[in-house]
Amino acid sequence: MLTPRMLTPIVAGLMLGMASLGLHAHGSKEHGPRQAVVKEQTGWGIAGDAEQVSRSLEVVMTDDMRFTPAAVKVSEGETLRIVVRNAGQMMHELVIGDSEALAEHAEMMVRFPNMEHDEPYMAHVPPGETAEIIWTFNRAGEFEFACLLPGHYQAGMIAKVVVESPRLASREHERSQSVQ
């Protein structure tokens, strides 16, 4: 027969087991490797791998709310290692997107300034620090790098990113040749 005295260690053991399970689940979620991020196709590309990188691009962020360079050209399919350097005294971030998605996101950031967000196409960089984004631009079109911190986007902290389709570029070349 089970007496309350015998039951206590069983219950305590069960609770301890549950607690450690909970801790484990929490720990693996919070500290899991970044590579474990599910690669999701967006309208402006997809997360890339270090092995695919075709070139590095340094982008500098400054407190005058500017990205340098302010315009970037990429070939469709290229994987870039974007080295994002914050040369300012305040926090900045680089978020890749199309103008519509970024404008929407910027508005959310104004309404909820403490909103936490982290996606493979963004880097939050404290003053004096550098972060990296490895991104495959597998969609041709016009995109942007933007800092969505409240006030920054509104002050024009946006760089232009043009992803050119090689097929389209050669077709245009042919057309200009035939005109001559």
Q: Which residues bind Cu ion (CB under 5 A)?
A: 92, 147, 149, 152, 157
The CA distance from 61 to 84, in Å, is 7
The CA distance from 122 to 132, in Å, is 9
Q: How far is CA 74 from the centre of its chain?
A: 17
In angstroms, give the least distance from the CB of 8 to Cu ion. Answer: 57
Which residue type occupies 66?
Answer: R
Shorter beta-carbon distance to Cu ion: residue 96 or 149: 149
Shorter beta-carbon distance to Cu ion: residue 101 or 147: 147
Q: Which of 59, 21, 24, 37 is nearest to 118 (CA)?
A: 37
Shorter beta-carbon distance to Cu ion: residue 63 or 164: 63
In angstroms, give the least distance from the CB of 44 to Cu ion. Answer: 19
Residue 80: what are its φ and ψ, rounded to 5°?
-110, 140
Shorter beta-carbon distance to Cu ion: residue 85 or 92: 92
In angstroms, give the least distance from the CB of 115 to Cu ion. Answer: 15
The CA radius of gyration of the chain, in Å to the nearest whole number, is 23
